[in-house]
A and B are shown apart, each in its own frame.
Chain A
Amino acid sequence: MNIRELMIVAMASIKSSKLRSFLTTLGIVIGIAAVISVVAIGQGGKAMLMQELEKFGTNLFVLYVNYQEGETSRPSDLQMSDITLIKNVVPEVKYMAPVCYTQMKLRGSQGQKSVELLGTNADLIHVNNLEIAQGRFLNEEDESAGRQVIVIQEDTAKELFGSEKPLGQRVVIGSTSSMVVGVLKNDTSVLNDNPRQSAYITMSFMRNMTGWNYIHQIYGSAASKESVSTAMERSKSILERRHNAPGHYEARSMEQEMQSANKILGIIGLVISLIAGISLLVGGIGVMNIMLVSVTERTREIGIRMALGARRQDILIQFLFESIVLCLMGGIIGTILGYGGAYVVAKLAHWPPLVSWSTIIIAFLFSAGVGLFFGLYPANQAARLKPIEALRRE
């Protein structure tokens, strides 16, 4: 018998008990659908996460103070002169920006808004891949001349000035007046969990206004992806030597963040796949159970086929094929449902559903494998029947 004939025989038998065949494959359908949707959602989510992280720049790294218990921050921990030194000494470091955060209320001609105010320098635009909508970002002269200028985001501009043009407008920060020189596009990244908008001023303006002399973190950007770890390590060791404080500083790169995100996603995916795998196993046992019932019910048919010249291997292959076809049908339905599920989730979460061909092929092979494995025992039972005993059975 060739495959086409085996297919006809298998389909005839599956069709003769439609409901039972459907219920039998349900376990496989659910298992495969779970695997496909989990993999699709996982891969889509991962792709989106990586894309977002890359927006920040893969060359990005952060230097910060590793505070011990009971320690409080000192202005001397991170200094502007550290940044100047590192940029001069370490060729792998391309950009370096200090960051000092605070919450502030901004007032404009039409309204007011609470923002996260960042003291920084001109390099931040490169380090964080900020996008200018209007005007310009902070520059060196703003810093050295101590200009009272501010860069805000589009939504902030709308709230402060309504429909008026924001460039050149006056913004009152607390009680200090400043001028808008640039507007940045809104941060649309899903990774941005800060509900507040950001506004940027120079370090010197921040110092003059608040009297603080802190740098909370230093953002650096390496010349290339490959030189991130060198740039990071050398910057860190300069800080340690300069402040004579080994172990006092920490550094992390975006690369490391991506790796740990990847690792967590990988573990989650593995756990869910394992659960889906168990459901496939249960489905497979269901298939075996029904195939055993089928062999018992069709004992007479087996006897007739043997009387007409079917060899044991013909019977074995017939039942094995039926089991595989049953599981493959479950696999096909499961793939469609799984893809549909992944598509809905992806739509809701705004990321691309990714079902690679390899996933589909693996799902198919796996369901065929389940059919083969769990069909083997029942098929063997069928093939081992003695013709005369099989014929006598009613």
Chain B
Amino acid sequence: MNALGHFFQAIPFELLIIQTVNGIVTGMILALIASGLTLIFGIMDVVNFAHGELFMLGAYVGVVVAAATGSFWLALVGAALIIAILGAALQIVTLRPLIGRDPLNTILVTFGISLVLQNFALWQFGPTARRIAAPITGEFTLFYLQYPWYRIMIAVLSALIIGGFWLFLKFGKFGIWIRATTQDRVMAQAMGIPVPWVFTGVFAIGAAMAAASGVLFAPLVGVDHSMGLDWVLKAFIVVVVGGMGSLGGSIAAAIFISLLESYAAIWVDPSQAIIVSFVVLILTLLFRPTGMFVATPK
């Protein structure tokens, strides 16, 4: 009992608040990545192994554009556009021939793509990490910390992108096509929706979202060629925990897992904190394999 009391006393209240803010910020970036992943999965039945690499390449394009123009905002838009075009091209060349084949083929192909992209980045940009300067440098006082406004801005921007994307799905013409294709691929095709192009478009949108989150994240840590795998793993966990193909579930799971990880980081090394999300994944698989944040399937 005494030990337990000591345990709770050992948590400074301020630290808890700081870690909550940190968790929400990373959670929003993760949600942005994972929503692209879950969208691609929900519509195309493709688990995009190369998603982390699109995130990483997006960050690199951001670095290049920011260095050339000096503008963070141009870098953000430029990276999203260029990676969207790259994503569309990749989908047309490699994934379209596989439509109708065993879904395991697609995971192998996207794994091959991730390999090529990662080594391309290493070859082209070298092993040293690059940085983008944050567009705003102000800080505010959070207890004893000087907390950068930029982190708050990341969370807000991610929320805006996801919100805009949701509106697009709900009201945009292409968004309605996407939802129709998710519900019934054959029927959508019969209604005249160009399903193969919807696939391409969805892949491009998912890629653009990954690239945008890459650029947003770049000022916090350096950009290097191996950053993709960590994030794609986390995004996979989020997508499974949130319920495969469910957008809302993914966002909830992203924030949930990031919060847990940043609380865990109070006591253990941040590199070990990822074990917490593995544990969440195992528990989900054991007790609720359809996902924690979706309604029980009938």
Partners in one complex: no
Interface residues of A (CB under 8 A from B): none
Interface residues of B (CB under 8 A from A): none
